Amino acid sequence: MNTKKLTINGMSCGHCVMSLKKELSKMQGVTINMVSIGSAEVVVDESTVTDLALQHAVEEAGYSVTSIQ
């Protein structure tokens, strides 16, 4: 398990936060620590979740990833 910090563009309100939480919660192997406007912190099982999969989930919610650390 590894903690990932995501920087996200395009989020501007509480609805954005809820939309992203919804997408991330669909992912097996992801536990959400925090989602706020412009960022998220999740714990991932790296054997099943890649950075690219996280990026796709953010894009499905309608936003873009600036960085994943």
Look up the CATH number of the domain holding residue 50: 3.30.70.100
Rounded-to-integer distance, Cα 69 and Cα 65, Å: 11
Length of the chain: 69
Q: How confident is the model at residue 34 (pLDDT cuts 50, 70, 90)?
A: very high
Rounded-to-integer distance, Cα 36 and Cα 1, Å: 22
Q: How confident is the model at residue 52 (pLDDT cuts 50, 70, 90)?
A: very high
Stretch (H or E) spanning 28:
none
What pLDDT does 19 receive? 97
Q: How many helices (H) and strands (E) does the chain have?
A: 2, 4
pTM summary value? 0.92
- Count up the domains in the chain and report the number: 1
Query: Among positive and negative, which fits the CA dihedral 4, 33, 66, 25?
Result: positive
Q: Which domain holds residue 38?
A: 2-68
